Amino acid sequence: MISSLPSRPLSIIGSIQHTPEIYSSLHNQSCSACQYSRYGQCSNVCQCPLNTYWNQGICMNQLFENQTCTQANAYRIDLNLTCAQNCNNGIYTQCIAIINSKIFISEINSKYVMTLP
């Protein structure tokens, strides 16, 4: 009996676990610790993989435009984004686009924000 395969393409979906136990044994360790790990990459020492950032516990996925951010390196620089800082209290609040590599001023939550590229 010959059966035909469906005409729809198949997708294989995977995931990466984000737990403190995985990252605590790798982060800032010698490169030999992350040599064969998908959870770290070597840059003099083990660091977070591409498009992730260290949040003092685990490597988190970097954010996209208009998402709430809590630290400067939480944004996707490859997408020309920056994490806006509230001028009144210095707290990082939202990922925004950098426009023409110049200072960008916007109003977020009724507070003016100035960011530098």
Q: In tens digits, what is the pLDDT along the chain, a chain of 117 residues? A: 555 555 666 666 776 667 888 888 889 999 999 999 888 999 999 999 888 889 888 888 888 888 887 887 888 888 888 877 666 666 666 666 665 444 444 444 444 444 444
* DSSP string over 13-60: -------HHHHHTTTTS-GGGSTT-TT-EEESEEEPPTTEEE-SSSEE
Cα–Cα dist 89/42, whole Å: 35
Other Cβ atoms less than 10 A from the Cβ of 20: the count is: 11
Nearest of 90, 95, 57 to residue 74 by alpha carbon:
95
pLDDT score at 111: 43
pLDDT score at 81: 82
pLDDT score at 102: 44
